[in-house]
Structure 1
Amino acid sequence: MNPGLAKALVNGLLIGMAVVALFPLLWMLSVSFMAPGEAGALPPPLLPKHPSWANYRELFLRAGMGRYLLNSLLVAGAITALSLVFNLMAGYAFAKLRFAGRERLFQALLGGLVIPAQVAMLPLFLLLKYMGLVNSYAGVVAPALASVFGIFLVRQYARSIPDELLEAARIDGAGEWRIFVQIVLPLLKPIIVTLAIFSFLAAWNDFMWPLIVLTGQEHYTLPIGLASLAREHAQDSELMMAGSVVTVLPVLLLFLSLQRYYLQGLLLGSVKG
C-alpha cells in the first residue's frame, strides 16, 4: 500500500474515533444553552436556535449549584493535598527505608487491592459514626487520606532513585526528613502530578461514599447535588445538561492542562519501576 495512502487512512480513522468520542460532550455543551424543551424535539437539534445562559443562571441563583461547587472544590482539594502527603511518605518508606516486615506489610497492602471498596463501606461508616464524623467533610476526607494504589505508584517510581545519592546525603549529615524534602520530592515531581490528578479526579467524581456519609443538603458535593436536582427536574434536559457541564468542565480543564506531566509520570513509573 502507498505510504501516503496508509497514513491518510490511519489519520482519518483516528479523527473519526475522536469525533465519536467527543460528540456526546459537545452535544451536552450545546444542549445546555438551549431553551427549555428544545432538546426534546424530533429530530434533536445539534445547535441551539437562540443560545442563552438562562440554564446556568437557574443553576447558580436558584438550584444552589454554587454551594455544591464550593463543597466539591473543598473536599477534592483537601483529599488531594492530604493524600499526597501520606502516599508520598509511605511510598518512599516502602521503596528506600529498611524496617522489619517491610516486604510482608507491602504484600498485605497489595492484597487489599482485590477487595471491592463496597465491602468496606458498612464497617467504615459505623466507625465514622462512632467517631462522630457522619455528615461532615472530615467523614468524606478521612478514608481517602491514603490509598494502596497511591502508595504502590510512588513506591515503584521511588525505587528508581539511586541509593548512592541518598547515602551520599546521609554521609554529609543530612537527616531523613531533609533528604526526603530536598532530594526525593524534586525527583518525584512527575509522579506527584500524576497522583494528584488521580486523587482529584477520584474525589471530584465520587458519588457513593459522599452520598452515604453526607446527610445534610448543605454539605452535598456536585455529583450528589446534580442527582438531587435531577429528581426535581427530571424532564428538564437542558438544565441537567448545564449541571453536567459544570460538573465535568473543571476536571476536564485540569486534565488537559496537566496531561503532559500525567503521561510522563505513568510512562516513567512503568519503565523505571
Structure 2
Amino acid sequence: MSAPTTALGLRMPDRAAWRIVVRVLLYALVLFVFFMPLWTMAATVFSGGQPKSGQMSLLPRHFTLSNLTTAFRFGVGRGLLNSVVVTGVGLFLQVTVSAFAAYALARKKFRGQALVLLAILSTMMMPEEVIAIPLYLVLGKVPDPLGGSSLLDSYSGLILPVVGWALPIYVLTGFMKTIPVELEEAARMDGAGDLRIFFQIILPLCRAALGTCAVFGFLMIWDQYLLPLLVAQSPHMYTMTLVVTSLSSSQEQTEGVRLAASLMLMVPSVLVYLGLQRLFERGMLNGSLKG
C-alpha cells in the first residue's frame, strides 16, 4: 500500500519515522540537560590558562593536566583515598547489618517488634544537625578499636556512625516480607538453619533491594559532610567533601583547580550509580522470574 498523500500530492511522513524523530529529540534533550554540566566542567578542567570565577568552557583549549596535578598536590589524592576506604568499608557494614536486622524484623516474631521498627524509622526524622554535638562528645570518649585513644580523627570514627541507617533496614524488611514463607519452611524441612536460609534463599531473592540500598548507601556515605567535619581533626583524615570545600574557600587556587576537585568528587558517584543500576535491573528481572 502506498504512503498517504496530501491534497497537493505530497507524500506524508510515516508514523514510525515521526516516532523515531521524536525519540531522538527527547534523548538529545535529556543528554543535554544531564551531560552538558559534566562536560563543561571537564572541558574547563583540561583547558590551559586561568578561567575567571564562574567561567566555563565548551571545548578544552590547550589541553593540559596541570589543574588535576595541582589539585592532587593540595590534598585531592589523600581525600580520594580516605573517601574510598570509608565508603567501601562503611557500605559493606551498612548493607550487612541492615540485611541481618531486616531478616529478624521480617521473619522472626518477638514482643515489641513493631516498637523496634518504629524506633528505627524515627531516626530518619531527626536531622543530623540535632545530634551533631552529642555525637561529637560520644566519639571523643569512645576508644578507637584500632588502637587510638578516641574515635576522633580516625577511620573508625568516620565509618561506625554510618553503619546504622534506617532506610536500608526499612526497604529490606518490606522486601523480605513479600518472600513466600513456604520457601523457608521447605528449607527447614531439609535441615537448613537460619544462616543457611538467610544466605542461600533470602539474600539471592533480595538482590534487587540490595542493589537499591547499595546505590542510596553509597551516595549517602560518599556525600557526607557534617560527620567528616566533626571527626577529621587533621588534613590527612579529610574526605573528598572536606577537600573540595577547603579548595573552594581558598583564594589562592584558580577556578580550574577547584573544578578539578569537584570533578573528582562527582565522577565516582556517577560511575558507581551506573554500575549498580545494571545490578539493580538484573536483580529485578531475576526476582520476577523466580517469583
Q: TM-score, normalised by structure 1?
A: 0.88
Name 1:244's counterpart in structure 2.
262
Structure 2 CA distance for partners of 1:44 and 1:155, relative to 1, 3 Å: closer
After superposition, residues 109-148 of structure 1 pair within 5 angstroms as 109-131=120-142, 132-148=150-166
Q: 2:29 aligns with which of 12, 16, 23?
A: 16
Structure 2 CA distance for partners of 1:45 and 1:83, relative to 1, 3 Å: closer
Match of 2:48, SS state, is: coil
Distance across 1 between alignment mates of 2:121 and 2:57: 49
Distance across 2 between alignment mates of 1:177 and 1:161: 16
Name 1:26's counterpart in structure 2.
39
Match of 1:215, SS state, is: coil
Amino acid in the other structure paired with 1:113: M
Structure 2 CA distance for partners of 1:69 and 1:41, relative to 1, 3 Å: closer
Q: Does 81-90 or 17-26 show the bigger shift?
A: 17-26
Kindly state the Cα deviation for residue 10 of structure 1 after the two structures are TM-superposed. Answer: 5.6
After superposition, residues 1-273 of structure 1 pair within 5 angstroms as 3-4=15-16, 5=18, 8-9=21-22, 11-37=24-50, 39-40=51-52, 45-60=57-72, 62-131=73-142, 132-233=150-251, 236-262=254-280
Structure 2 CA distance for partners of 1:266 and 1:247, relative to 1, 3 Å: farther
Amino acid in the other structure paired with 2:235: Q
Cα offsets for 1:207-233 (capped at 9, x unmatched): 121111111111001111121222335
Match of 1:64, SS state, is: helix
Q: Greater share of helix residues, 1 or 2?
A: 1
Match of 1:50, SS state, is: coil
Q: Does 180-189 or 21-30 show the bigger shift?
A: 180-189
Amino acid in the other structure paired with 1:97: K
Match of 1:36, SS state, is: coil
Amino acid in the other structure paired with 2:206: L
Over the residues paired in the alignment, what is the CA RMSD in angstroms? 2.5
Kindly state the Cα deviation for residue 14 of structure 1 after the two structures are TM-superposed. Answer: 4.4
Kindly state the Cα deviation for residue 144 of structure 1 after the two structures are TM-superposed. Answer: 1.0
Q: Once the two structures are aligned, what percentage of the paired residues are identical?
A: 33
Unaligned runs of 5+ in 2: 1-13, 143-149
Q: TM-score, normalised by structure 2?
A: 0.83
Kindly state the Cα deviation for residue 194 of structure 1 after the two structures are TM-superposed. Answer: 2.0
Q: How many residues align?
A: 267
Match of 2:278, SS state, is: helix
Distance across 2 between alignment mates of 1:239 and 1:209: 25
Q: Does 205-214 or 190-199 show the bigger shift?
A: 190-199
Q: Does 41-50 or 24-33 show the bigger shift?
A: 41-50
Amino acid in the other structure paired with 1:128: L
Distance across 1 between alignment mates of 2:60 and 2:251: 20
Kindly state the Cα deviation for residue 123 of structure 1 after the two structures are TM-superposed. Answer: 1.3
Name 2:10's counterpart in structure 1.
none
Q: From the CA coordinates, give the structure whose radius of gyration is larger.
A: 2
Q: Does 98-107 or 148-157 show the bigger shift?
A: 98-107
Contact 1:190 1:261 in 2 (8 A): yes
Contact 2:214 2:276 in 1 (8 A): no
Kindly state the Cα deviation for residue 155 of structure 1 after the two structures are TM-superposed. Answer: 0.6
Q: Does 79-88 or 129-138 show the bigger shift?
A: 129-138
Amino acid in the other structure paired with 1:109: I
Contact 2:207 2:284 in 1 (8 A): no
Distance across 2 between alignment mates of 1:99 and 1:142: 27
Cα offsets for 1:64-117 (capped at 9, x unmatched): 321111111100011101101100000111111111111222123223322222
Unaligned runs of 5+ in 1: none
Higher relative contact order (CA 8 A, sep 6+): 1
